[in-house]
Structure 1
């Protein structure tokens, strides 16, 4: 028998694996403006896709779909006066239920570069605990495809842009460690992609 791997589901335990997952992210053709990207496994099977504003027609909104094309995660950038005065841009991730956003499952804070010197992108999983302000953080440079998603304890959850593998703007690898939610990782990548004005942004 193999060693037991503790699962850490955020979107769903069906997206957690007992083994390391190597995912390949490929930008949709540039003819689809703001078209998003497709995520495949080692066997070139589509396991996730992300729709950007060129497809769903709304800026600051993203939809993550599973391999069958079913919407599993709706993400949007928070707006309004309170947001305008904040030192962070806030993103909210919701589970999809019968095609509609339902339960809030995570929030991501992206520091505004002109207002905040500490540029850490941090993610809080709902519901929030009383003594913690974040659960995961993104370290490194997404634009250079050299970054990682780490847990609050410092463990690497996912590595984006893996040394020794083909890496570029339109095609790169993501390695998700055993037990972690791959759909959640793809959701974080979708936000990073939008923040950096890439495939999901119109």
Structure 2
């Protein structure tokens, strides 16, 4: 599978404002470790902040994340579903809600993760978009292993829509995975992509988790 370079029709999930007509490379930088569960910041090639993700250390609530725009406006509220049914399920479930102009929450995507620690080494995480129910019960899945910064978001047709990676020289210099890049295909909603990455970050106990 390859990332396509051709421009495609915009596929807004949060907003068409976050869909670019060309391929985009954004950089993720973990917030300082002193902020426990503080989240991460996303910048473009000119180092302008595009998104901020608040983790439980900022919000004070476990199993909850917020994706904000560069100005700090809330775009996505992401919650891990609880309750007896979820406790007995082999999958954990996350729900992502966008905010309309009145500040009301609207469910836009769901994400399922296996609860087994063994399964996480070879994890299959699938995401469903609420307004796009097709012949499959999922729209995107994650291939690869996020803690290695080597994974991709793939649509139900097998096309890579976003790729997480680390440049070798950066990895050697930093000595950690606190700085990595995400390549996003034309037309794909960047806010949605970072909503999924925020959940992956939390699942694997990284910058957003207390």
Change (3 A) 1:17 1:201: same
Q: What's the Cα RMSD here? A: 2.0
Residue equivalent to 1:146: 150
Residue ranges of structure 2 left out of the alignment (5+ in a row): 1-5
- TM-score normalised by L of structure 2: 0.89
Q: Report how far residue 113 of structure 1 moved.
A: 1.6
Equivalent of residue 103 in structure 1, options 101, 106, 127 = 106
Equivalent of residue 183 in structure 1, options 178, 185, 191 = 191
Query: Which one has a larger percent helix, Structure 1 or Structure 2?
Result: 2
Would you say how many aligned residue pairs link Structure 1 and Structure 2?
200
Q: Report how far residue 5 of structure 1 moved.
A: 2.6
Q: Does 1:81 align with 2:84?
A: yes
Residue ranges of structure 1 left out of the alignment (5+ in a row): none
Residue equivalent to 2:204: 196
Contact 1:74 1:101 in 2 (8 A): no
1: CA distance, partners of 2:123 / 2:34 = 33
Contact 2:166 2:179 in 1 (8 A): no
Contact 1:71 1:99 in 2 (8 A): no
Contact 2:167 2:180 in 1 (8 A): no
- TM-score normalised by L of structure 1: 0.92
Q: Report how far residue 98 of structure 1 moved.
A: 5.9
1: CA distance, partners of 2:134 / 2:188 = 23
Structure 1 runs (4+) greater than 6 angstroms displaced: 115-118
Change (3 A) 1:60 1:8: same
Residue equivalent to 1:35: 38
2: CA distance, partners of 1:137 / 1:186 = 14
